[in-house]
């Protein structure tokens, strides 16, 4: 193999240019927050004895021994049905084959049930209407209760991916899964991030340091269960079975969220129901380290940009954020929380739900405070329904074909409060949702704030200047922090394209500090290739592939490297490795076609 590029030898090679274009698009995307996972131990200073790390989870069936009524009610809720294995209980409407054609993508999708198993198939159609490839997978897991819809997970080795199609209850039909309709993902390539799995499952088993690889089986407990809110049950179960004395009015062997200080109470819900615009894990922590009864900020800090929300659209996983914007929350000095109105053990519907929440409203308000006439209030369905007027369902910006309840509790539904005003923050500062205490002056540390601005600036360019300044300061003060150096190096590649040696140094510092990130390695390999250090670049690409065998940017980078070194066979074999797990990959397919044309010329 020739590792020295000959001057001008790449100019006419269409397939090399195709790979290069794919690489450029890939390197412009910064890594998502959910990709950052490392091992760690929880520390706690609360009085609940099941909060520290090391107390074991027992599972819902153990709780059922003494709490069967609550168990039965909870299993009917959305949380109690959050994740399942496909079977007759969740596919009765799909026993007949379903076909979905997306003309824009030129792809056809089918859903079929054969031999007691569900299968999803994607096939690509050429301009002539003929099938160019087909990819079929058995569905391993069903995500969602079906209240809004269901998505589906497939396994490739020990890695989990989201199927490109989902079922939407509101439209009673199939369409592209979230993230696919915008073209962000194609085929069976959307990773099941550790954050997604940890919130949808009772207890996931991720391979630490990876995006979407899991131990086998991937989940110890499938759906969300009792211990997600009450904490691990080992102590409680053992002491209750032994009839051990309580030692007081409160059983401190198991968390009761209703008895927690309000910021710790709300953290129990925020662990899954608040996504924000940035989530920054503490060094050495994983999402699984959070224990009810402790501060969520000990594990992860969550921030949002102080933007004005669209009055007609809300975001999924933003209910706590919306509630913080409400006058009800502000004027109650934040005493109003999720479980003020919701009993997580039950899911009310229809007339029963309207009556329940009306009663909650009237515990603070009076009938006289409503400006509408009795006749107007009785015209709602169900009648006299506070929620319908003040908390209507609105379209969800990041979840197609769905509507969720607006928790901003707007007095006048056509008006939308400013997030910054509600949070008492400057419009130039990020909103810090996980302050470890109710003190208004609580502030994040430099590391957390710098990484938060780094993430938020990917969505809102207005924060880039401040974010870069913070990240530059953090990189100087924290030279051994792998995440800070990784973020700094990736920003420098874009912010200072004429000083890429500085970016290279930062990315190497990240690796030296213990980063296992495939993104760091592929970006550093690109810089090594630019400097003519091909052997180093090959090593970095192979390290990334070893960590994540389905990380396409590493394969594309390696194929491009072989191409510029004029090792056609190695380049083609690398592209074939992509097409083996992702046969619809357009960059790899086009490069293979162009390589064949170049070979003939």
Q: How many whole angstroms separate alpha carbon 538 and alpha carbon 373? A: 74
Torsion of CA 260, 266, 269, 274, to 10 degrees: -160
**pLDDT value at position 276?**
92
> Which of 376-385, 413-422, 434-443, 457-466 bottoms out in mean pLDDT, i.e. has the lowest?
413-422
Tell me: do 103 and 208 sit in the same domain: yes
Has residue 428 been placed in a domain? no
- Residue 529 scores a pLDDT above 80: yes
Q: How far is CA 580 from CA 96, 134, 172, 213, 585, in A?
A: 29, 11, 34, 18, 10
Tell me: do 475 and 402 sit in the same domain: no
Measure the N-to-C terminal CA separation of the chain; round to a whole number of Å.
22
- Residue 215 scores a pLDDT above 90: yes
- Reported as a single tens digit per residue, the pLDDT across 3-14 is 334 334 444 456
Tell me: do 105 and 194 sit in the same domain: yes
SS3 123: strand
Highest mean pLDDT among 384-388, 436-440, 573-577: 573-577
Mean pLDDT, residues 360-364: 92
What confidence category does residue 34 fall into, taking pLDDT thresholds of 50, 70 and 90?
A: very low
Has residue 193 been placed in a domain? yes
Has residue 273 been placed in a domain? no
Tell me: do 320 and 382 sit in the same domain: yes
Output the pTM of the full model. 0.88
**pLDDT value at position 44?**
38
Tell me: do 451 and 590 sit in the same domain: yes
Has residue 43 been placed in a domain? no
Mean pLDDT, residues 581-601: 84
Tell me: do 388 and 481 sit in the same domain: no
- Reported as a single tens digit per residue, the pLDDT across 83-134 is 999 988 777 667 678 899 988 888 999 999 988 899 999 999 887 878 999 9
Cα 367–chain centre separation: 41
- Residue 444 scores a pLDDT above 90: yes
Tell me: do 479 and 553 sit in the same domain: yes
Tell me: do 406 and 459 sit in the same domain: no
Token pair in block for residue 22 = 């794919």
Q: How many whole angstroms separate alpha carbon 206 and alpha carbon 162? A: 16
Tell me: do 197 and 314 sit in the same domain: no
**pLDDT value at position 6?**
36
Nearest CA among 460, 516, 469, 522 for reference residue 495? 469
> Which of 32-36, 46-50, 296-300, 553-557 bottoms out in mean pLDDT, i.e. has the lowest?
32-36
**pLDDT value at position 89?**
79
Last residue of a domain, one of 222, 254, 280: 222
Mean pLDDT, residues 448-466: 94
Contact 40, 289 (CB under 8 A): yes
Has residue 383 been placed in a domain? yes
What confidence category does residue 417 fall into, taking pLDDT thresholds of 50, 70 and 90?
A: low
Domain that holds residue 174: 83-222
Contact 170, 150 (CB under 8 A): no
Tell me: do 31 and 114 sit in the same domain: no
Number of separate domains in the chain: 3
Has residue 113 been placed in a domain? yes
Token pair in block for residue 35 = 């990709």
Last residue of a domain, one of 201, 222, 243: 222
Tell me: do 31 and 125 sit in the same domain: no
SS3 453: helix
- Residue 42 scores a pLDDT above 50: no
Last residue of a domain, one of 222, 243, 261: 222
**pLDDT value at position 21?**
59
Across the chain, mean pLDDT equals 87
Taking residue 170's Cβ as centre, other Cβ atoms within 10 Å add up to 12
Backbone angles phi, psi at 406, to 5 degrees: -80, 110
Has residue 242 been placed in a domain? no
Has residue 233 been placed in a domain? no
- Reported as a single tens digit per residue, the pLDDT across 43-58 is 334 489 999 989 999 9
DSSP per-residue codes, 185-232: --SS-EE--HHHHHHHSSEEEE-TT-SSBEEEEEEEE-S--HHHHH--
Q: How far is CA 576 from CA 166, 413, 569, 593, in A?
A: 29, 55, 11, 12
Tell me: do 595 and 460 sit in the same domain: yes
Residue 172, Ramachandran bin (φ over 0: left; ψ between -120 and 50: alpha; else beta): left
């Amino acid at each position: 193999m020739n590792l020295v590029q000959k001057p001008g030898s790449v100019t006419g090679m269409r397939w090399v240019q195709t790979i290069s274009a794919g690489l450029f698009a890939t390197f412009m995307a910064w890594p998502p927050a959910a990709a950052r996972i490392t091992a760690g131990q929880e520390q706690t200073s609360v009085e609940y004895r099941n909060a520290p790390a090391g107390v074991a989870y027992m599972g819902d069936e153990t709780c059922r021994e003494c709490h069967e009524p609550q168990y039965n009610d909870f299993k009917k809720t959305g949380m109690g049905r959050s994740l399942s294995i496909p079977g007759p209980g969740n596919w009765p409407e799909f026993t007949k084959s379903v076909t979905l054609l997306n003309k824009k993508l030129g792809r056809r999708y089918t859903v079929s049930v054969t031999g007691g198993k569900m299968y999803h198939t994607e096939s690509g159609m050429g301009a002539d209407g003929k099938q160019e490839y087909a990819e079929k997978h058995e569905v391993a897991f069903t995500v969602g209760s079906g209240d809004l819809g269901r998505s589906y997970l497939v396994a490739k080795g020990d890695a989990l991916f989201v199927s490109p199609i989902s079922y939407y209850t509101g439209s009673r039909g199939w369409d592209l899964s979230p993230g696919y309709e915008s073209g962000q993902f194609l085929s069976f390539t959307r990773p099941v991030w550790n954050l997604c799995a940890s919130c949808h499952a009772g207890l996931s088993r991720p391979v630490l340091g990876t995006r979407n690889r899991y131990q086998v089986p991937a989940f110890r407990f499938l759906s969300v269960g009792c211990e997600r809110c009450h904490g691990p049950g080992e102590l409680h179960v053992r002491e209750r079975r032994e009839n051990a004395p309580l030692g007081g009015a409160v059983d401190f062997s198991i968390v009761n969220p209703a008895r927690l200080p309000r910021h710790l109470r709300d953290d129990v819900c925020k662990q899954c129901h608040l996504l924000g615009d940035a989530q920054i894990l503490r060094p050495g922590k994983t999402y699984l380290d959070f224990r009810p009864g402790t501060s969520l900020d000990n594990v992860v800090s969550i921030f949002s940009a102080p933007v004005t929300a669209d009055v007609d659209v809300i975001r999924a996983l933003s209910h706590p954020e919306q509630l913080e914007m409400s006058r009800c929350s502000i004027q109650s000095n934040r005493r109003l929380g999720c479980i003020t109105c919701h009993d997580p053990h039950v899911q009310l519907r229809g007339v029963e739900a309207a009556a329940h929440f009306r009663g909650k409203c009237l515990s603070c308000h009076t009938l006289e405070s409503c400006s509408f006439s009795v006749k107007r209030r009785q015209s709602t369905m169900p009648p006299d329904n506070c929620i319908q007027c003040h908390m209507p369902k609105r379209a969800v910006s990041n979840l197609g074909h769905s509507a969720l309840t607006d928790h901003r509790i707007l007095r006048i539904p056509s008006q939308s409060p400013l997030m910054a005003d509600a949070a008492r923050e400057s419009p130039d500062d990020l909103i810090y949702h996980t302050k470890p205490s109710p003190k208004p002056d609580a502030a994040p540390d430099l590391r957390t704030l710098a990484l938060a601005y780094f993430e938020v600036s990917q969505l809102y360019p207005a924060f880039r200047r401040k974010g870069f300044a913070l990240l530059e300061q953090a990189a100087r003060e924290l030279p051994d922090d792998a995440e800070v150096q990784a973020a700094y190096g990736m920003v420098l590649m874009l912010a200072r394209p004429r000083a890429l040696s500085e970016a290279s140094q930062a990315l190497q510092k990240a690796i030296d500090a213990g980063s296992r990130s495939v993104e760091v390695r592929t970006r550093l390999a690109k810089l090594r290739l630019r400097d003519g250090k091909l052997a180093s670049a090959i090593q970095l690409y192979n390290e990334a592939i070893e960590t994540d065998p389905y990380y396409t940017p590493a394969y594309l980078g390696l194929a491009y490297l072989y191409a510029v070194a004029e090792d056609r066979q190695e380049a083609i074999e690398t592209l074939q490795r992509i097409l083996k797990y992702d046969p619809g990959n357009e960059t790899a397919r086009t490069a293979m076609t162009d390589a064949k044309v170049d070979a003939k010329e």
